[in-house]
A and B are shown apart, each in its own frame.
Chain A
C-alpha cells in the first residue's frame, strides 16, 4: 500500500489499538519543561512508579527564565520554585538535563534540533503545543497535556486517536522579502485558526523544498495555530546536511544505517491524503496580524477587513478583537505607530532570523520611541551571533542582545509588554494578554520586525 510520510512513521510506532478507541503509540523522545511537567512527575510518584525510559527524556527549563542576569538566582520566587522543581525531578530520575545557564540551554524547540536530539522518523512529544516544530526534520512531533506527559514518563507510550492527513503544497518561487514566517501566516490566514483541527499536515511543494532547515522549523512551528496536531516536511538532502555532525546525531556506521532508513520515509507517489491543498508562492507578501488570533493576518500593504465582509456568527469576536487592539475595520496597517519589538521565540529565535534582522538594520539606527528585545533561542544561537559579528552590527544600530529563553513570547518572566502598548513580535501568538495583561501583539517575520524597530511604526521592509 502506498503511504504518506506521516503514516509510515505513525504505523512504525503503533503498539496496540483499543477497539473503537485510541491507539497506543510508542514515543521515541520526550522533552520536558518546567511549566507542564511538575504535576506529571508528582503523578508517577503518587502511583509508586519511576521513569520507565530515562534515556529518552530530556529536561530543559525555558519558559520562566530571565533574559538578563541568568548567572544569578531567579528573582521571582514562584518562577524559581518551578525551575527548581524541574531541576530536582531531572536529577532524581537521572534524566538528560540542560539547566539554566548550561551551554545547551535555550528554548526546547530550538535546542532539540540543533543538538541532533530530534531526528527524522522519530515520534516526539513535549507538554507544549509548539512541539510541532520538530516535524520539520521529517518526524511525528506534537504537543501533549500534563496527564499525557505522565503517561510517557510511566510507560514511554501515549494514547492518541489517529489524526487525518493533510498535504499543503506551496509551489513556485517566493518573492523577495518573503520568509518562512510569512508563508505560515499566509496559510493560517487562509485556513483559519481551526481549519486544520484533527489533521496532521505535511508541507510540500517547491517553495517548501527550497526552504532551509531553519525556515522549515519556523513553518512547522506554526502548524498548531491552524489547529493541526502537527506539521512535517519530508527529509531530504537539506535535512541530512543539517543533522550530520550534530552532537547527538548518529555517527559512522550508525549514520549510514539511519540515512538508509530516512530515505525510505518520504510520501510514496500516489499516496492519498484526506485533504490536499495548494497555494502559489507568488501570492505571498510579507505578512502581519491585526487581531487577536494568528488567523487574523494580512499582506502588510493590505487593510483590515470591513465589518460586512465578516460573516455574522464571527462578528462579535471580530469586533471584540479589534476593540482590544484599538484598530478599526478598514484601517491600513502600514504607518501605525508601535512601542515594542520582540525578535525571538521558538518561531524566529534561530540564527537565520538574527541574520535577517541584522541585514536590515545594518548601518541604520533604532527608533528612539521603541523598546526592542532581541532574544536568541538558545546559547548556541547566541554564540553564533557573536562568532558571525552580528552582535556588532546590532550594537552599532543601538540594540542590545539579551540572554536566551522564551521571554516575551508568553511573558512568564519579566519581559512583559505593558497594557495598551503595541508590540511587533516574531513569536507565534497574538492572543489577548499573551505578552502581558492588556498587551497588543502584532505578529510578523524578522524583516518586518526590523523595519518597525528602525522606523517606530509598521513599515514594509521592502521600502527600506
Chain B
C-alpha cells in the first residue's frame, strides 16, 4: 500500500443516498480473477446507457467535476461484501470517499485498499454539496495526521474519526496481513487451548 499524505483536491459530488455496491460495480463485472481494471466499470449502469454510450447526465461524464475525492450521500456502500466495489473506486483514482455514513463492510474493504472513508456530519456534507454546486473547483482538504477535513470554500473544518491502528497503517503504508503473520505463535497457542474446550470447532 502507498503511504497516505494530506490530500487537497477538487471533488466529484454524488448527492444520492444509499448508493449500494450493485451500483458501484454491477454483478456482471465481478468475473475477473485479478484486482485490475474495475475502475472502468465504476458506476457502470449510471455512467453508460444501454448502448454503452456515456450518459452525459452522470457526474463522472461531466468534465466540470474531477478529483481524487468522491463525496456521496448518506449510507454509501450498502449491500454486498464485494471488495470489487473498493477496487473500482480505487481503480478509478479516488483516494478518499466522504459521506455522512458508510456501510460497515464497505468501510473495511475501502481501508484495506488504501481508500480512506471520511465520515462527516450531515450539515457539513450538505455544505460541501452546495459549495461544489456553486463552484465546481472547490478544494476539499483531508489531513489524516490531524484527522481534519476542510471545505476551503467556507473555510470550515471538521474532525473525523479513525482508530489509531488504521491511521498508522495508512500513514506507514502497511497492511493487516503483515501484522497478523507476526502473531503465528499466539494463534497456535490459542488453538491448543481451544482444542480442550471445544475441539469440534476446529477439526
Interface residues of chain A, those whose CB is within 8 Å of chain B, are: 12, 15-16, 18-22, 24, 26, 28, 35-36, 38-39, 42-43, 47, 49, 52-53, 55-56, 63-64, 78-79, 81-82, 85, 119, 121-122, 127-129, 131, 143-148, 150-151, 154-157, 159, 161, 163, 193-194, 197-198, 227, 229, 250, 254, 257-258, 261, 293, 313-314, 316-317, 320, 410-412, 419, 429, 431-434, 437-438
Chain A residues, CB < 8 A from B163: 20-22, 161
Q: List 30 A-B contacts (CB under 8 A).
A: A18-B179, A19-B165, A20-B165, A35-B82, A38-B33, A42-B34, A64-B31, A78-B32, A81-B31, A82-B31, A129-B105, A131-B81, A145-B86, A147-B112, A155-B183, A193-B18, A194-B74, A197-B75, A197-B101, A197-B104, A254-B199, A258-B198, A293-B18, A313-B74, A313-B122, A320-B16, A412-B27, A412-B30, A429-B22, A433-B22
* The residue from A36, A261, A432, A438 contacting B22, defined by CB atoms under 8 A apart: A432
| Pairs A-B, 4 closest by C-beta atoms | A21-B165, A147-B112, A145-B83, A38-B33
Interface size class of B (residues with CB under 8 A): 35 or more
Q: In the assembled complex, how far is the CB of residue B82 from the closest CB belonging to chain A, in whole angstroms?
A: 6
Do A197 and B177 have beta carbons less than 8 Å apart? no
**Segment among B62-70, B140-148, B152-160, B186-194 that sits at the interface with chain A:** B186-194
Chain B residues, CB < 8 A from A119: 200-201
Cα–Cα, bound, A64→B30 (Å):
10
Do A36 and B83 have beta carbons less than 8 Å apart? yes
* The residue from A49, A56, A314, A316 contacting B202, defined by CB atoms under 8 A apart: A56
Main secondary structure of the interface of A (DSSP, over half): loop
Given known pairs A145-B108, A148-B108, the reply for A157 and B180 (CB within 8 Å) is yes
Do B28 and A122 have beta carbons less than 8 Å apart? no
Cα–Cα, bound, A148→B111 (Å):
11
Chain A residues, CB < 8 A from B41: none
Q: Annotate B165-203 by CB proximity to A: 1 below 8 A, 0 otherwise.
A: 110000000011101110110110011001001111111
Cα–Cα, bound, A47→B180 (Å):
13
Chain A residues, CB < 8 A from B187: 15, 26, 52, 155-157
Q: In the assembled complex, how far is the CB of residue A324 from the closest CB belonging to chain B, in whole angstroms?
A: 10
Cα–Cα, bound, A37→B75 (Å):
26
Q: In the assembled complex, how far is the CB of residue B23 from the closest CB belonging to chain A, in whole angstroms?
A: 6
Cα–Cα, bound, A27→B6 (Å):
36
Do A194 and B31 have beta carbons less than 8 Å apart? no
**Nearest B residue (CB) for A159:** B176
Do A147 and B16 have beta carbons less than 8 Å apart? no
Do A154 and B16 have beta carbons less than 8 Å apart? no
Q: In the assembled complex, how far is the CB of residue A36 from the closest CB belonging to chain B, in whole angstroms?
A: 6
Do A317 and B17 have beta carbons less than 8 Å apart? yes
Chain B residues, CB < 8 A from A18: 165, 179
Chain A residues, CB < 8 A from B117: none
Cα–Cα, bound, A56→B191 (Å):
12
* The residue from A314, A316, A437 contacting B45, defined by CB atoms under 8 A apart: A437
Q: In the assembled complex, how far is the CB of residue B63 from the closest CB belonging to chain A, in whole angstroms?
A: 23
Chain B residues, CB < 8 A from A16: 183, 186
**Nearest B residue (CB) for A77:** B31
Chain B residues, CB < 8 A from A143: 80-81, 105
